Amino acid sequence: MGLASLLGRAALKPFAKALPPMGDTERAALEAGTVGFEGDLFAGRPDFDALRARGPNRLTDEERAFIDTEVRTLNAMLDDFAIDEARDLPAEVWQFLRDRKFFGMIIPKAHGGLGFGHFAHAAVVTRIATVNTSAAVTVMVPNSLGPAELLLHYGTGAQKAHYLPRLADGRDLPCFGLTSPYAGSDAASIPDVGVLCERDVDGRRVRGFSVTFDKRYITLAPVATVVGLAFQAVDPARPEGQRELGITCALIPVPTDGMTIGRRHRPMDSAFMNGPIRGEDVFVPMDWVIGGEARVGQGWRMLMESLATGRAISLPAVGAAMQQTALFVVNGYGQIREQFGLPIGKFHAISAITARMAADLYASDAARRYTAAALDAGEKPSLAGAILKVHLTEAGRRAVLDGMDVLGGKGIMGGPKNLLGVAYRHAPIAITVEGANLLTRSLIIFGQGAVRCHPHVLAEMKAVENNDPEALGRALLAHGGHVLRNLWGSLVHPALHGTPPIDLRAEAVMIARLSAAFALTADLAMGLLGGKLKRLELLSARLGDVLSALYLASGALWRYDVEGDPAMLPFARAAIRVQLARGADTLHELCANLPSGLLRLAAPLLLRGTRQRRPLTDKTVLALAEALRADPALVGRLCPDIGQPRAGGLRDLMDALALSVPVADELAELNGVLRRTRSLEQAAARSRDPAAALAYLRAADRVIQVDDFAP
């Protein structure tokens, strides 16, 4: 009997007790999607050649023309404040979205759609979201977790032929009902039940389900013409214990007897359509089940596999849009608004905010773009999608909060001239939907990573499940070698796999060291705590945060490499170092809270060289902010998706910045005269080009002013 077999026999029973139980729905969620570079990071062996081989992002001529023409035209139709006040998009916007097939971006041309790639889809949503979030949400839902995605992968031929052309051109507008009042984050436990039965329909006996359901928070429900629905299928004719067939997905046309669309929800008083859907004894023929009878009970796996794609695109695009808009506003407003005789952007406190926003944006948008490149290469990076969803929406929220701090009174006065107020109100929505960040961060990122990304855990779990001591022994031996390699990398020096960009070699070494320390710590935590780690959410969340920081830092390295823009090197370097500092600090917090005194004592040695006391010096921070003030092209590279709206505060700011260019060297003098005379005309008269100066001063005044209303 070999060593592997002996080891496996000895470990089989203890492992069976230590491993947490896993239901079918949890297994489907954990096994959904594919593993990419995040697996290298989890293993402690990032391969920089593999990282650099991905991408760059590419748009086809057709995709680029759509963004440059249709998206630009759409943005020019959007007035953020007017839409917010009306609580709906204008009728002409709805029609434009249908006519230009915005709802059919992911649907192939063969079915009447645009057939866009994932990066193009994300770019469209991001550019709309910089101008109006409600329009972006309206576009993203049919292209994300909705009937079209499910039909493309699982629908019958007849379902595809009927629905996809109608969804592509907007004749049908979809929504998807998953969340129930008593099953929110625990969506797999939805109480909505469909009982297998037969009914007479048009003179013939039809097999299907009688479904009773209560769904809420359903985006587009008030205007939907077809409802995607998830329910628990039950066959009462089966023996006790075998009646539950599993979660099933179906398409229900509107109207259908027994189904009602409730009154609107108003998420943070937003303008996009959202509401409840209820049904009592709604008959769902088998032809309405997505994929037909063969797909009954497979709905949860279908949803998880679809979410692996949509989660990596839609809400990360909204988060990126919030970041880009906030940075553009803070940097631009900081140049126009003066206090104490200086543009406020030159004050160090505001410079620090601007630089931090820029570093965060570079890393988060880099990770988003890298993941889109993986999607376009045919991967389904579900773990990366969860990382993006959490950390880009959180970064968006931070950016908007920072922007509100800089704007001060200007930021809290509602009206058309407000620059970030609507985004500030909308930020919690992105945090909450498609898997609340609190849940995703605490349970899913590391929980899924431990099973899918660890090079040996899944093999060990399968060996225990199959009662195979030989396979378990082989996996354990390989696991032991893995731990020793990462211990060596943590204590001495990590091996550098592949060739990183020469400009960022030092940062690549730092990524490799932190990756090795993270992998070692994850193994120690799993070995020490076993199945209990699943319930220790604070520890699990910290492990997920470290992995996320590594992923964002690696994305920044990739972005600098594929873009090849030397001017962005300071931002790339800052972005990587900020993420690694966050990851290292979190890893030290984790070790300080592990329930092992011995491990806490050993932590300083095991984590040697991972902590950066000062990721960015004050000198670096001020230099980054000054570079953004001095070179508008740098802002354009960081914020390439900023769209131009029809009217409002953002449009006023854009106009003022454009008009400042001809008189840029005179701004200090013009503002000084304006403070003394309080006359735009007198100040402009001092300029070498009075007409240009007056145009700028009037535009800047519109930016500074706020709205007032009748009492």
Structure tokens given for 43: 């293993």
Question: Phi and psi of 259, rounded to 5°?
Answer: -105, 135
Does 626 qualify as catalytic in the annotation?
no
Of residues 121, 19, 136, 132, the one with CA closest to residue 467: 19
Rounded Cα distance, 70 and 101, in Å: 10
Q: Which of 434, 460, 507, 666 is catalytic?
A: 434
Residue closest to 45 by CA, chosen among 425, 447, 466, 486: 486
List beta partners, residue 283.
210
Report d(CA 287, CA 284) in Å as an integer: 8
Alpha carbon distance 230, 303 (integer Å): 9
Count the neighbouring beta carbons within 10 Å of the beta carbon of residue 82.
15
Phi and psi at 335, nearest 5°, equal -90, -30
Helices 469-491 and 457-465 meet at what angle, rounded to 10? 160
Q: Which ranges constitute the DSSP H helices of 293-439? A: 299-310, 314-336, 348-376, 382-407, 409-412, 421-432, 437-439
Here the tokens at position 45 are 């062996």
Count, in order, helices (H) and strands (E) of the chain.
32, 9
- Residue ranges in 68-194 assigned as alpha helix (H): 72-75, 80-86, 91-99, 118-129, 133-143, 147-154, 157-168
Q: Give the DSSP per-residue string, 535-589.
A: T-HHHHHHHHHHHHHHHHHHHHHHHHHHH--GGGHHHHHHHHHHHHHHHHHHHHH
Question: Which two tokens mark 678?
Answer: 């309080």
Catalytic machinery residues: 434
